[in-house]
Amino acid sequence: MDFDETFSPVVKPATVRTVLSLALSRHWPIHQLDVKNAFLHGILSETVYCAQPDGFEDSAHPDFVCRLNRSLYGLKQAPRTWYSRFATYLLSLGFIEAKSDTSLFVYHRGPDTIYLLLYVDDIVLTASSPALLQRTIQALQQEFSMKDLGKLHHFLGMHVQRSGSGLLLSQR
């Protein structure tokens, strides 16, 4: 009926290019992850009801509805609740949200630096060392079901290929 915030911030193309340039200039590994069923991770802050799902209707109470505790795909609040849940977890790990782009998260402690780009359920991650990168991936995988896609090769419809000391970004 009345939805206040139904969007999920997505990373800006200029931010993607900047982070990739930084990672390349510093010879950092660049990795990509995909969150499985991202919108199902969102926790609703408001009360939401839905009709009984097809095939699961209670014949004794056909007019009853279901109260949702968590987000579902197709729910207008799903993108926002997913983003909020993910951002809250990253903040608990010590990341900060960049002021210039709320889908860029930065971790910086002493010599350790991590940049994480989020585009709905797609993540690009780069870190100052391969060990730090792996520890971060493991921390994310403990909290969320994720597929590790390895070195960055495809993001936002762009094919990414290492070439010499740079990256070749192409798009059909």
15-27 pLDDT, tens per residue?
998 999 999 999 9
pLDDT at 77 over 80: no
Calculate mean pLDDT across residues 165-172: 80
121-156 pLDDT, tens per residue?
889 999 999 999 999 999 999 999 899 999 988 887
Residue 132: enclosing H or E segment and its boundaries? Answer: helix 130-143
pLDDT of residue 1: 44
Is 49 within 8 Å of 68 (Cβ atoms)?
yes
pLDDT of residue 95: 97
pLDDT at 160 over 70: yes
Other beta carbons less than 10 A from residue 142's beta carbon? 8
Q: pTM higher than 0.75, yes or no?
A: yes
pLDDT at 6 over 60: no
Is 1 within 8 Å of 76 (Cβ atoms)?
no
Calculate mean pLDDT across residues 45-68: 78
- Which CATH number does 13-38+80-170 carry? 3.30.310
pLDDT tier at 72, thresholds 50, 70, 90: low
Sequence spans of domains, the chain: 13-38+80-170
pLDDT of residue 57: 82
Whole-angstrom Cα distance, residue 160 to residue 158? 6
What's the chain's average pLDDT?
84
Q: Which residue has the higher pLDDT, 47 or 127?
A: 127
pLDDT of residue 127: 97
Task: Give the SS3 label for residue 74.
Answer: coil
What beta strand segments (E) does the chain contain?
A: 30-35, 43-51, 65-70, 96-97, 104-109, 112-119, 122-127, 146-151, 154-155, 158-163, 166-170
Task: Give the SS3 label for residue 77.
Answer: coil
